[in-house]
Structure 1
Amino acid sequence: MSERIHSQPQEAAAPTTGRRRKFMPAIAGTALAMLVAAVLFQIFRAEPAASQTRADGQSAGRASLASAASGQVVAKVNGESVPYDMVARECYERHGAEVLDNIINRMIIQQECERRGVTVTQSEVQQEVVKIAKKFNLPVDTWYQMLQAERGVGKAQYHRDIIWPMLALKKLASADAKPTEDDMMKTFERDYGPRVKARMILVDGNLRQANSIWQKAVDDPDSFDRLARELSSDPNTRPLGGAIPPIRKNGGSAQVEKEAFKLREGEISPVIQVAENRYVILKCEGYTEPIVSDIKQVWNELYQQLIEEKTQESVARVFEDLKKDAQVHNFLTQTSTGGSPYAKGGNGIQQTSGVTSPQSVVPDSATRR
């Protein structure tokens, strides 16, 4: 976003590494909505989940097919048969825990939808796919092809295992997604306000080491670039002389932002502690000039963006709460988690052998294609 709304473009960031991921959110923040969407994609991998995504008759049919397939020969090697059971057993041993975990996650969401009367229709699933494809400026068919090629996710799987859970969680979390005026002002500052152009030296060590480097920078501010190349602990910004993307307000570490926005061009910040045995020293190289100065100019766009961000925050929070409250006995991994079981009757969900999904919860198009 900064490339569009600031006259001063951000400096190119170095490739991300594990160390970078730990630190840079504290400096410049992250695109929360995209991160949560990525997390959801990881949670709901497109694994077969017939038991909880088809109606009773369909589940029974699937079970009988699996039973019949168990005696089938799926390959022959120099006349020797490879039975279906051998393949199934190896798949189970290699991937069973991951697949089961995905199914459990979907069931947790499904049960809460049943309890609260939340539904997701076929039309909503299709509209969401169109919306997502449009964000990437791709026709829907091309989007499906890309998912298949890059992630091995087919259309039906995508609808059932990715889009439906995401929409269901959004509906479960929607009550928490109302932006306040204070939210609007902070988001405007974050996305449209001035940003501090800076260089950074990251120190992984003790305060004495950080103070020693800080003193060198204060004694000779023009040497900050060289000091960063020689002494910074960040492998990504070190080759760039400590160059980082401009620091914005409300985008990451409050302490880093506070110190950064105190600086005038050419000044060196105090030593800033960002974690245990981790310190940051900044040099201010000026400020960006925002193009939009009045929030009224972007109010509607900002409001919709903030609803989406707050929804994504709520989605992650609601799902974590559901997982904590769900009573799960995983006999494959021999683990048990969760709180109180659902009460029988009323709005509670009584678990039975073989799990099916009511049509009021899972859209037909997402389960039958």
Structure 2
Amino acid sequence: MTIGRLSAGKRPRFFEALLFAFLFLLPGSAGAVEKPAEWIVAVVDADVITFSEVAEEVRRNAAAAGMNPERLSHAEREMLVDRALEKLVTDSLLLQKARRSGITASPAEIEEESKTAIDRIRSQFPTDAAFERALAQEFMTPDRLRERYEKQAEAEILRRKLIDRDIRSKIRISDSQVLNAYRQYGKEVRVRHILVSDSATAETVRRRLVDGEDFDLVAASVTTIEATDLGWVRRGMMVEEFEKAAFALKPGEISPVVKTQFGYHVIQCLDRREKEPPPFDEKMRDKIYQELFARKMQKKLRKYIEELRARAYVQFREGALAQLD
């Protein structure tokens, strides 16, 4: 079963219950009469994803985006839950594949990675005592924290080794590919885009822009992931689908809806130009090589994950959240 992005109108019924739980049962909420910490949200082959794992991922992503996880709008929460579920399913499939393949992590590797993560957290506090008080407020001890991060470190190391073995080590970039990319280096487009989470909204946005409505007013009238002027961009700076659509436009034109791993984009070209590229020295060659490598890596990883999902058993557990209906 392929999960992919859970589009509006196609989510299983439990998804609305899960949103209800996030809206009303988060810590600090007046409705927090029961903590659904270990409800099983999904079964992924031989693994399970729990409510607490989804909640932690949502809070982490909200913090990274500068959002207060307890003051999210329904649309923001829905987007974050969607992304959390997608990431956790993917992480689970990669980890299980690594274990089946016999990939291991040594105790030294696990200790080094987990210690680095904990030290990074500890550095945010003025003293060790302040750090331990913060842990106590979360009902956490230093030993339990270390156990948690050692488990996370092992999983991350196994996934990374799997990707290195099956994808990264097989990527080849030729000198002719680097030279061809350099010849396109000076071509740039100035674009802005509106990024939303579902295709229906994107089609509406596109139709309104084509009809001549103001870009900022259209963006303000819908729930967006992002709506911004990206400035001048060149080839190699954006994901392949976005780049292809952007460079096909003439100034003033609006793109068809473009789907990427980030959502659904509607792109407007504001201008085009071609300027002299920097000299093709060793530094420039390495930069272009890394850009081409990263793009090929991203494309192959996406295909690899899609193939894993196509062969996987993934079930969302509606019954686990039935009492929220």
Which TM-score band (shorter chain)? 0.3 to 0.5
TM-score (norm 1): 0.40
Structure possessing the higher radius of gyration over alpha carbons: 1
